[in-house]
Amino acid sequence: MLQYLPLACLLFPAAHGQNDNVGSNTLPTIGLPSTSILNLGGDLVPTGTEFSYQSLTSTVTLSPGSLSGETALWATGLSTSTHASSTTPSSSSTSFTVLQGTLQSTTPANATATVNSTSTQPANTQPCNNYPEFCARQYSNITEVAAHNSPFVVPNNAASNQALKVIDQLNDGIRMLHGQTHMINGTLFCCHTSCDLLNAGTAESYFTDIAGWVRRHPYDVVTLLIGNADLVNVNDYAAPLQSSGLARYAYIPSEIPMGIDDWPTLSEMILTQKRVVIFMDYNANQTAVPYILDEFSHLWETPFSPTDRNFPCIQQRPPGLSIEDAQQRMYLVNHNLNTELTLAGITILAATVSLLNETNNVTGPGSLGETADDCTERWSRPPNFLLVDYYNVGAGSVFKVAAELNNVIYDRECCGMVPSTAIPLRCNSVLLASTLGVAIVSALV
């Protein structure tokens, strides 16, 4: 088994390498699932006839009459929350919060919208998603940093993709949370590829953490991207979303699908307190659960689990999308680098943590900044979401990239403290050899 060690060391940095700050992510000590390609932090492009993409040839306009019960109230009612109001003077200064629900941005790129008014309005100093400039912008006119596999923060497990837990992620400025789910004995869990490989707990617990943060931050809009790995019925997600309290904040669009110019401003979402946008990659059904949006009807993605450091900004999912249709949707850049290793005939896909400083950087070959600039030039507008592993590596570099695309200045401190007890990735010969040996045996049986 020790013969595998040199190959794996290409992936995992040495004991005192440049990425010790990755944190709680070490090699797994349990067997991997018996598949032909094993995943240690990476994900596979879904293939097969069971993975289908919705093809909508017309736009459906939703009205309160087309919904029923509590769902209709979610779609049409104004929140009774006292956290957000149209004009709230500050008690300690002369700053004002001016959130106007009728503002619409027509700016083609991510730039601060200008509003013409016959009367002088106080300047807004209340940040929306950390920037006052964002309040008047449409949801589809902002670039946000997304945490790839957000819940997978499990110490001593190489299938993790983040070092900091979801609350830290949100506090630091992450505004899209991505996660993969699996159904086990009727309960949804946040698991990576298999719950035997990495199990981060129930989806309801994860949703509850997000809902608590959203409740405490009434001026923030959060996006959740659910990976429905087992292709379970969308109705199975309704109960944990409702029990967690997250569904009460879920945004229900006025149309199916929403074009890039159809989205509301952050102010409008904040005023109605419908400020959690939930996407699902497969098996969404907006007539059954209208607040779980079909991802690929609303946005497209660049190549999935990329292994090419050039990160080509081409459209991959949904397949067969025309350039004209792609230009009418938001888009997500997958900028989480993976490496393929073949061991005893088994291909292992793993997150390339040894290159995180370059991958998450503002400039340089293979950097997030370089990819973002390429995408902006290629598609004549910035990406909406930048999906990254270990966003904390780079001390805020990923947020600097997003800020430049948004024409704002990033001046926050980053990032949350990685637990001091976390053991950084290193080439521990005994642990590494035994892990890969178990993985190969597990895959061959």
Positions marked catalytic: 148, 192
The one-letter amino acid code at 211 reads A
Please state, in angstroms and rounded to a whole number, the distance separating the CA atoms of residues 88 and 109. Answer: 30
The values of phi and psi at residue 343, to 5°, are: -125, 115
Torsion of CA 189, 398, 245, 226, to 10 degrees: -40
Structure tokens at 436: 């890969």
H helices of 217-265, where? 235-244
Q: For tokens 């966003």, what's the residue?
A: 391
From 223, 224, 154, 225, select the one nearest 192 (Cα to Cα): 154
Q: For tokens 């005893």, what's the residue?
A: 344
Please state, in angstroms and rounded to a whole number, the distance separating the CA atoms of residues 130 and 361. Answer: 21
Instruction: Give me the sheet containing 346-351, strands edge to edge.
Output: 37-40, 346-351, 338-343
Cα dihedral 122, 127, 133, 134 sign? negative
Q: For tokens 């109705």, what's the residue?
A: 235
The values of phi and psi at residue 359, to 5°, are: -65, -40
Strands 330-334, 299-301: pairing kind: parallel
From 175, 138, 144, select the one nearest 265 (Cα to Cα): 138
Q: Are 326 and 300 in contact (CB under 8 A)?
A: yes
Please state, in angstroms and rounded to a whole number, the distance separating the CA atoms of residues 148 and 264. Answer: 25
Structure tokens at 20: 């010790």
